[in-house]
Amino acid sequence: MRPDWEKVVTPVVDVAVKLPGVDPEKIILAGWSFGGFLVVRAAAFEPRATAVIADPGQWDQRDNVISALPLSDDQKRTFPILTPSAWTQWSSG
């Protein structure tokens, strides 16, 4: 893994556009899981990308994170559930 994922993707696109059957005007970059984060950065630096699919893979890690916290079972049960609507209400003050 590296933060400058475009350094990995650009050489791959260089090779792909030379392959038979690849339309260089229709290059789609796709990333899954952590790659869903990295592919967006790669696309920002890869002008030949015409579309991006950024799939985070896992939508909610709340239960996994809470289980690893040094909290009592009671504290874990009452830990707030942060939904997109709750975040919007909180962040808008």
Largest separation between any pair of C-alpha atoms in the chain: 60
pLDDT score recorded for residue 62:
77
Output the pTM of the full model. 0.59
The dihedrals phi and psi of 81, each to the nearest 5 degrees, come to: -95, 120
pLDDT score recorded for residue 24:
95
- pLDDT by 10-residue block (mean), the chain, 93 residues: 87 96 95 83 94 80 84 87 65 58
pLDDT score recorded for residue 14:
97
pLDDT score recorded for residue 61:
75
Which segments of 1-93 does DSSP mark as H helices, in order? 6-16, 34-45, 62-68, 73-77, 84-91
pLDDT score recorded for residue 88:
64
